Structure 1
């Protein structure tokens, strides 16, 4: 009864006691009444027998059975998740290595920075059609076809090696996209002066009809033959030029004096199996067009290029020219798909861009690759298990499943992983098919750009997957005080930040519109409204060239810059920081957040100490027990109290053979005493 009375009174007193000293408080109170120690220690070792008195004050102390089960389940789940994260990290780092960077850098320097011998033109400095032909005849052909060593001795016969190490796969391809004439409206004041009008590129304005040869076309000598054919076939085609070229190719099969058929002037339909379109700087383009496959040797290719240049293959209707080719380096087992794009906007001039994708398409070659294959199997097993778990939970909770942030992360990881698995299978099948076709017909263009492009998108999917997977670790460490304060701070200041964001973006977009209208025609960072937004973020971060807007407008440029920095940086940005700082201060002063369900760090620390005690029990030396006749009873009782505190901290059982004081010397147990 006394033990129950002590427990009951201690429970009421414990309800007013918080913090990590709960155990020491209980031990001190019980030791002050040593006659109750032996009867109450069992109840304290099973403190969950009275959870209704103080269930919420046990964080960092002895946990109830439910809490212990939760801790055990959380630790097991965390350990399994760490194994999954380790496996995913190995897969992601196995896809990318430093050789990819150097391979990409070498190709970039070779094809983008090499200059011509005449005017020093490189790819990035092309600004006209004449510059384009100079680049093609100079740096491009010179760097694609490597036939000899630096001392003049020939390389491997029959093959083209780039930088002596990378082999050219198949043939390079040049592709042109055009627009039709009279696709734009000419003002009536200039109709007598301007007869032709070619609008900017769009799918609607694209020209897909054959176009004629210029400057003394060799097809003119066959034009009379085609006209006779048209007369006898009663053709009503009004465009005799297009009719002639179609019949030259499809009916007569006539070749010109250089042995080349006229299909270089005929449109080839897009192949939707490989790619849909290409997003350039000026427009978005189909994957069809007027296609030319260059030869595998330099003399024949030079002959083709000179022929196309002399016959004006590029003219007013040209809006984009693509140069595609692929190389393979067996030393590092890497493919590199290179696409050079020159856009000719309706305003005139030329805009260049390039895409160089270095990817590893042949996955299983070395021993490490087979180790990655094992990791892929383990990854699939994990994803299959997570699909079942998340599927059951989604079925049970329906749409309420997405109300929890961690469930949303789990769903994202599973979804992205499934997409990655199916793409990996598809990629393997396609690579094998393309390489077999390349081996059978090495004199054609292999469309490895398609696979390299989607391999790059696959890498992006995996990158987001592993990023979300790392973020999910916060789920398991969110039980400690720091994470609780962080989450509470963000939740409490969310409304204030939302209101601030409305005010911030009103001012921000107003300045973006102002900069676009003032500097849009002169400064590259303001040439579109989207670029204005990114430029202003750069101004906030201090990465901006002030002289550009000052040269564009010596009066409005400085005014725009100074007012923007003052309003956005010095005022609004500091208001944003003040909102977070004030909320964080309130959260730190909130006493109700001092206790959490359990601190995973404290749990791991306690279990670590418990393991040390099991390994070396002598870390708790025996102490003298107080007796009525002992002169050092006070010192012994203090040592016993310290020993009990350490055992409670280690979550270890206490000895049941501890002697107690005589009842005559025991103080009376009252509420005031406790």
Structure 2
């Protein structure tokens, strides 16, 4: 016999309805609180993401344009071939009278004279004509005169031991502006004075034109192997273009000892070549230094300079981009000034900001040098019809040197510009973010290790210099010693050479240096990097940069949308990941929006698309339930809405795909919709 149940259904029980309404209100208020905090974070994150993306795009675009300007503005293949051809003629050719001897191996004054007559003259001044326009070394032509110039020093009072005073030794100092000789009569032991020029060849009508001291038309620096910089002055000879006249002059110079082992400190060979095929000028400088201690040190500099870049289409494009880069540098300068004024010294504590400031300073230096070169080039090109003008050669030498400085500054600038791109590597992937974070985190530890490394390196440098400085060429100066030790550190040392000169200190210093510097300190460096990377990985598993993660998410979302557009709806399964029961789809999110539309609009979420953007964490308009758990702290403060466990449980029930509160219990949904305007209910049903 069945017992009749007189109790009303749960859905009609007033107590159950009231209890359900109270629970729903707690859930609704907690959800609104959660969405309010999420909205505020979303708007701030959206603004930061937009600013970071804009900064990244502009800077990387600027770096690419700047790099293109550097590459397109120089035709390196033509410049290299132009310089290499002349270099092989003058430096690589053997001296016929001295088999096996080249310019690089000259060691005495007599060998230098052989090279001048048999290689230099034969390569450069081979014509018997008197026209500068004849081609030499290929299709090159002279611009300006051909000069031989020497820097001499004065005789000084010697400070010698008293026991050797009777020998009456003479002393000759190293080259400097104070010791440089500046007398008017031509140099040489038996050189005739001005009134005796008739004793020379009839072609030499005026000694002063080719033997007197010339203070120089400008400063043409030539760096010495010993760190000495020679200026543009000295005793100079302008060689005629006719070979027979040149040989007469050189014969008289050798006869009257124009070059002297004691007084002469350097001899320079200077001329300019122009190649109409490549439209390039070549500044040629060959130097032979004679130290006070004896011997000779040859060196050379072949600098290609483009004085007429307007003749090439690629250069015209690079010039236009050059001015674009200049405008971007001006904008960057203004932005950096405003940031420094706003943040003060704290702004420069960031390494990337400091790199930007240094970058801007070098940019302005380059622009100043470029303007100087442009002005000088205009003057040179207006006078090239007179190839005998002595000012042309000096100006081209100066312009070539300035161009070399510009290339050096641009090289350093390009390195700094690309180095600063590391700041945006965290936007690519979490792996690149870990690497850049590791480099930043271990900077202080690496700096401390470098201090220790520098102390040991300085100690070993002094030890090697003291032990082998007088015997081995590689250790003749402190600078060369430091470079040689770096070569040993890279595995290029010669232990046998050290043992040959010092059987005790040689192997002792070598083994100690390799063990301590290479095996200990370098391994400590690697240990610091590995340990820091491990710590960064552990830290990033717990917390991630919201801006970087947001940018990467947006990039993935854009990529998916692009692939969908390319592949079409039929290929949708290629780019869409497998659906998860822990995610709400777009339809279910729209139901939540329609259910509490008034509350969302009061929070500033006026459109359903904005709500979908806020709730979307996967790029598929699906909201992860884990996002609710991650934000429990924002809900925990609402103690009036019930216990945390109950709120979290009911809130997750609200957001589940098969929400028992909203989707399955029709009675409860009818109660909730009954508390909304009819239009809202209709919208939700739709």
Give 1:339 shift.
0.7
Identify which of 340, 347, 359 aligns with 1:413: 359
C-alpha distance in 1 between matches for 2:35 and 2:363: 42
C-alpha distance in 1 between matches for 2:247 and 2:29: 99
Give 1:495 shift.
4.2
Give 1:194 shift.
3.2
Q: SS where residue 170 of structure 1 aligns? A: coil
Give 1:642 shift.
7.2
Is this contact kept in 1: 2:153–2:173, CA < 8 A?
yes
Alpha-carbon distance change, 290 to 443 in structure 1, aligned in 2, over 3 angstroms: same
- Which string of whole-angstrom CA distances, capped at 9 and with x for unpartnered residues, describes residues 489-538 of structure 1? 34544444344333333322222111111111111111111211111111
Q: Which residue of 1 aligns with 2:411?
A: 463
Q: Which residue of 2 aligns with 1:192?
A: 166
Identify which of 437, 440, 448 aligns with 2:383: 437
The answer as to 2:242 corresponding to 1:262 is: no
Give 1:422 shift.
2.6
Q: Which residue of 2 aligns with 1:49?
A: 36
Is this contact kept in 1: 2:498–2:506, CA < 8 A?
yes
Is this contact kept in 1: 2:131–2:241, CA < 8 A?
no
Is this contact kept in 2: 1:485–1:584, CA < 8 A?
yes
C-alpha distance in 2 between matches for 1:516 and 1:601: 54
Q: Which residue of 2 aligns with 1:393?
A: 339
The answer as to 2:86 corresponding to 1:107 is: yes
| Structure-to-structure mapping, 1:65-84, within 5 angstroms | 65-84=43-62
C-alpha distance in 2 between matches for 1:8 and 1:571: 62
| Structure-to-structure mapping, 1:245-644, within 5 angstroms | 257-263=202-208, 264-271=210-217, 274-275=218-219, 277-282=221-226, 283-315=228-260, 316-442=262-388, 444=390, 446-447=393-394, 448-479=396-427, 480-590=429-539, 594-598=543-547, 599=549, 600-612=551-563, 638=581
Identify which of 89, 108, 131 aligns with 2:67: 89
Is this contact kept in 2: 1:337–1:358, CA < 8 A?
yes
C-alpha distance in 2 between matches for 1:181 and 1:147: 40
Give 1:313 shift.
0.5
Is this contact kept in 2: 1:515–1:526, CA < 8 A?
yes
Is this contact kept in 1: 2:272–2:393, CA < 8 A?
yes
Give 1:266 shift.
2.7
Alpha-carbon distance change, 488 to 474 in structure 1, aligned in 2, over 3 angstroms: closer
Is this contact kept in 2: 1:146–1:160, CA < 8 A?
no
TM-score by length of 1: 0.77
Alpha-carbon distance change, 535 to 567 in structure 1, aligned in 2, over 3 angstroms: same
Give 1:276 shift.
5.8
The answer as to 2:179 corresponding to 1:179 is: no
TM-score by length of 2: 0.75
Is this contact kept in 2: 1:213–1:219, CA < 8 A?
no
Q: Which one is further off, 401-410 or 315-324?
A: 401-410
C-alpha distance in 1 between matches for 2:35 and 2:270: 72
Q: Which residue of 2 aligns with 1:633?
A: none
Q: Which residue of 1 aligns with 2:111?
A: 131
Give 1:126 shift.
0.7
Is this contact kept in 2: 1:485–1:593, CA < 8 A?
no
C-alpha distance in 2 between matches for 1:482 and 1:180: 66
C-alpha distance in 1 between matches for 2:367 and 2:529: 41
Q: Which one is further off, 71-80 or 654-663?
A: 654-663
Alpha-carbon distance change, 375 to 505 in structure 1, aligned in 2, over 3 angstroms: closer
The answer as to 2:602 corresponding to 1:652 is: no
Is this contact kept in 2: 1:493–1:580, CA < 8 A?
yes
Is this contact kept in 2: 1:342–1:353, CA < 8 A?
yes
Q: SS where residue 318 of structure 2 aligns? A: helix
C-alpha distance in 2 between matches for 1:640 and 1:536: 62
C-alpha distance in 1 between matches for 2:109 and 2:24: 98
Give 1:412 shift.
2.3
Give 1:595 shift.
1.1
C-alpha distance in 2 between matches for 1:186 and 1:539: 40
C-alpha distance in 2 between matches for 1:7 and 1:105: 81
- Which string of whole-angstrom CA distances, capped at 9 and with x for unpartnered residues, describes residues 330-388 of structure 1? 21222211111101111111111111112222111022222222212222221222222
| Structure 2: stretches of 5+ with no match in the other structure | 1-21, 574-578, 590-614, 624-654, 670-686
Q: SS where residue 473 of structure 1 aligns? A: helix
Give 1:548 shift.
2.3
Alpha-carbon distance change, 2 to 211 in structure 1, aligned in 2, over 3 angstroms: farther
Alpha-carbon distance change, 113 to 547 in structure 1, aligned in 2, over 3 angstroms: farther
Is this contact kept in 1: 2:149–2:268, CA < 8 A?
yes
Identify which of 116, 127, 130 aligns with 2:95: 116
Q: Which one is further off, 354-363 or 602-611?
A: 602-611
Q: SS where residue 663 of structure 2 aligns? A: coil
Identify which of 100, 123, 127 aligns with 1:143: 123
**Which structure features the higher share of helix residues?**
2
Give 1:542 shift.
0.5
- Which string of whole-angstrom CA distances, capped at 9 and with x for unpartnered residues, describes residues 238-285 of structure 1? xxxxxxxxxx9xxxx9987542423244321144xx426432113332
C-alpha distance in 2 between matches for 1:158 and 1:276: 23
C-alpha distance in 1 between matches for 2:67 and 2:169: 62
| Count of equivalent residues | 573
C-alpha distance in 2 between matches for 1:176 and 1:183: 23
- Which string of whole-angstrom CA distances, capped at 9 and with x for unpartnered residues, describes residues 432-485 of structure 1? 212323323535361222111110110111122222221222222235533543
Alpha-carbon distance change, 407 to 491 in structure 1, aligned in 2, over 3 angstroms: closer
- Which string of whole-angstrom CA distances, capped at 9 and with x for unpartnered residues, describes residues 375-421 of structure 1? 12222221222222223223333433322222222222322222222
C-alpha distance in 2 between matches for 1:190 and 1:541: 48
Q: Which residue of 2 aligns with 1:661?
A: 664
Q: Which one is further off, 339-348 or 80-89?
A: 80-89
The answer as to 2:177 corresponding to 1:203 is: yes
Q: Which one is further off, 77-86 or 131-140?
A: 77-86
